[in-house]
Amino acid sequence: MSKFEDLLKGCKRQNSQAMMELYDICALPVFNASLHIVSSQFDAEEIMQDSILKAFDNIDKFQGTQRDFVAFVRRIAVNKSIDWFRKHNKEPFFDDIDDVIFSDRQSSVGEIEDETEYSLEQIMEKIELLPIGYKMVLKLHLIDELDFSEIAETMNIKTSTVRSQFVRAKERLKKLLENN
């Protein structure tokens, strides 16, 4: 039996030490997923704690690996973060656009096309300057590794809208980096 399976069994029995160890495993990735959306450390921490508690409430139903569990809790956090964002912000997620359907070639994740290299710090700094919808789609897709259909489902929008926002966000980010 793996250490994770032992922790899972302990959590199902309400063992506080096992719960704390599993909490420690999930805390940072779940916190970061939330922080990408709410941009407030305090609120991201609250959402992280609520998300982990919700996962613990449903732990009897969980079957999978440690990676699956972290992804499960992170998904809860992303949903809670988006709900928090909608409740606390008047700014819409996305620009008004016509839905555009992109081919697989056009919608694939590509690197910024030129040969210039940028530091992660430079890229993250420029991402923060993007409109909120662009910023969310980029972070959810590139950092949290959600695919377009998962983002669309989470945000209750069309997949084509997510794709078009991603392409537009990449283009805007590229321009911001070039104008550095």
Quick check: 43 pLDDT over 90? yes
Residue linked to tokens 């992804």: 71
Tell me what pLDDT residue 107 has.
35
Every domain of the chain and the residues it spans? 3-88, 104-178
Q: Give me the amino acid identity at 63.
A: Q
Residue-wise pLDDT for 68-103, tens only, equals 999 889 889 988 998 888 888 765 555 443 333 333
Rg (CA), the chain: 18
Classify residue 147 as left (phi > 0), alpha (psi -120 to 50) or beta.
Answer: beta
Q: Give me the amino acid identity at 165.
A: Q
Least confident window among 6-10, 111-115, 123-127: 111-115
Nearest to 34 by CA among 96, 85, 72, 68: 85
User: Which segments within 17-175 are labelled E, that is strand?
Assistant: none
In eight-state DSSP terms, residue 59 is: G
Tell me what pLDDT residue 99 has.
36
Tell me what pLDDT residue 160 has.
92
Tell me what pLDDT residue 100 has.
35
In eight-state DSSP terms, residue 60 is: G
Give me the chain's average pLDDT, please.
Answer: 82
Question: What's the mean pLDDT in 167-171?
Answer: 93
Tell me what pLDDT residue 93 has.
54
Quick check: 105 pLDDT over 50? no
Question: What's the mean pLDDT in 102-115?
Answer: 41
The residues, any chain, with a CB within 8 Å of residue 2's CB and separated by 6 or more, are: 66
CATH number for the domain running over 104-178: 1.10.10.10
The residues, any chain, with a CB within 8 Å of residue 112's CB and separated by 6 or more, are: 118, 170, 173, 174, 177
Tell me what pLDDT residue 115 has.
54
3-state SS, residue 9: helix
Answer whether 113's CB lies under 8 Å from 153's CB.
no
CATH topology of domain 3-88: Rna Polymerase Sigma Factor; Chain: A (1.10.1740)
Model pTM?
0.68
48 phi and psi angles, rounded to 5 deg: -60, -50
Q: How many helices (H) and strands (E) does the chain have?
A: 9, 0
Quick check: 111 pLDDT over 70? no
Quick check: 156 pLDDT over 80? no
Residue-wise pLDDT for 121-148, tens only, equals 888 889 888 888 888 888 888 887 888 9
